[in-house]
Each structure stands twice: as C-alpha cells, then as structure tokens.
C-alpha cells in the first residue's frame, strides 16, 4: 500500500503489454475527468515512448478556473506510475461526487502552478537530493540539517537561503505526502 494525500492506495504491478496498458490508463484518466464536462483536449496526460522505463507520470487539467495537476514517481515503471495517477484521480473524483469532500478541498488537493515540475526539480537541488528522489525521509533529513545551518539566528545564517529551503521542503512535502 502507498499513502498519497492521506489515503492508502494499492500499488499496481504491470508485468506485460506496457505501452497498451499505459494507453488504457491514459484513457481512463480522461474518462474520469469527463464527469466535469472536460474533453480529451482539456486534459494533458503525456505518455512515455517506452512505458516500462522508470519515469514520472503526470496529468494536468483546467477546472473551475484553476490549473490542476497530479504526478507520481514512486514505482519502477512509467506505466505503474500512470496507474497510480489514474487510481488517485478516480478515488478523489468519487469522494467529491459522494460529497465526502468539498469542491474547495478537491481544488486544494490538485491545484498547482503550471511550472510545478521545474519547481520540484529546483526544490530537490536546494535540498541537495537526487533529481528524481522520492524518499521523503532523506529529503526531510536534508531539510532539517540545512534549515538549522542557515537559520537567521545562527552565526552563518542567511534569511533568504532559509526561506528558499523552507519553500523547497513545502513543495516536495505536498508532492510526496
């Protein structure tokens, strides 16, 4: 099980037909979002050329005048990451439809800036972790060390650097927790 946005999801393992399965997950995501009146042209679900490679899966769409975005990179294959994206979007649309969460809560879960991938890359750089690291424990340890080192009350502290470290941690925490 994988905990995403405070909910547990079963990790899907894909063992064959990777490209075909990736296309199926892409179509499922688009179909889930049709409940809001969106069309295929309103949803961006880019596919990898080789779905069995390790790569982050992303989906973005505009809804209620907001850019919404979700990505996952915790699995060994792109197709498995896309399956997780599909599963998460389906779940939250279902609980929104059942009035278990409000429209505002749904927006808060998925609202992102249009350049979020670049922001996440920069955040990992600020915190000194690998470009595609998804190990939040390591990220958090680096955050603690760097924030302590650059805290404005410390002899070599720097307010601007401290702010960047905190923003970077917040960006990655929203992605991974």
Q: What does the pLDDT look like over 160-171, one tens digit per residue?
A: 999 999 999 988
Rg (CA), the chain: 18
What are the structure tokens assigned to 56, written together?
């982050």
pLDDT at 177: 64
DSSP H helices, 127-176, are: 136-150, 159-176
pTM for this prediction = 0.72
Nearby residues of 86 by Cβ (< 8 Å), 6 or more positions away: 25, 28, 29, 32
Q: Which domains does the chain have, with CATH numbers?
A: 2-110 (no CATH), 116-176 (1.10.287)
Cβ atoms of 84 and 5 closer than 8 Å:
no
Q: Is the pLDDT of residue 128 over 90?
A: yes
Q: What does the pLDDT look like over 9-18, one tens digit per residue?
A: 999 999 999 9
User: Which residues partner with 59 through β-bridges?
Assistant: 70
Determine the average pLDDT of the residues in 25-45: 96
Q: What does the pLDDT look like over 72-89, one tens digit per residue?
A: 988 999 999 999 999 999
Q: What does the pLDDT look like over 87-127, one tens digit per residue?
A: 999 999 999 999 999 999 999 899 876 677 788 889 999 99
């Amino acid at each position: 099980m994988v905990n995403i946005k405070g909910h547990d999801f079963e990790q899907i393992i894909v063992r064959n037909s990777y490209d075909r399965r990736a296309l199926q997950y892409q179509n499922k995501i688009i179909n889930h979002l049709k409940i809001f009146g969106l069309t295929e042209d309103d949803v961006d679900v880019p596919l990898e050329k080789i779905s069995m490679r390790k790569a982050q899966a992303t989906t973005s769409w505009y809804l209620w005048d907001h850019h919404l975005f979700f990505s996952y990179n915790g699995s060994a294959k792109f197709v498995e990451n896309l399956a997780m994206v599909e599963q998460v979007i389906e779940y939250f649309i279902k609980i929104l439809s059942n009035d278990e969460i409000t429209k505002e809560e749904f927006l808060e879960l998925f609202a992102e800036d249009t350049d979020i991938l670049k922001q996440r890359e920069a955040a990992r750089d600020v915190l000194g972790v690998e470009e595609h690291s998804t190990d939040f424990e390591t990220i958090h340890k680096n955050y603690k060390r760097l924030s302590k080192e650059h805290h404005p009350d410390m002899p070599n502290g720097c307010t601007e650097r401290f702010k960047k470290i905190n923003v970077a941690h917040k960006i990655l925490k929203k992605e991974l927790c």
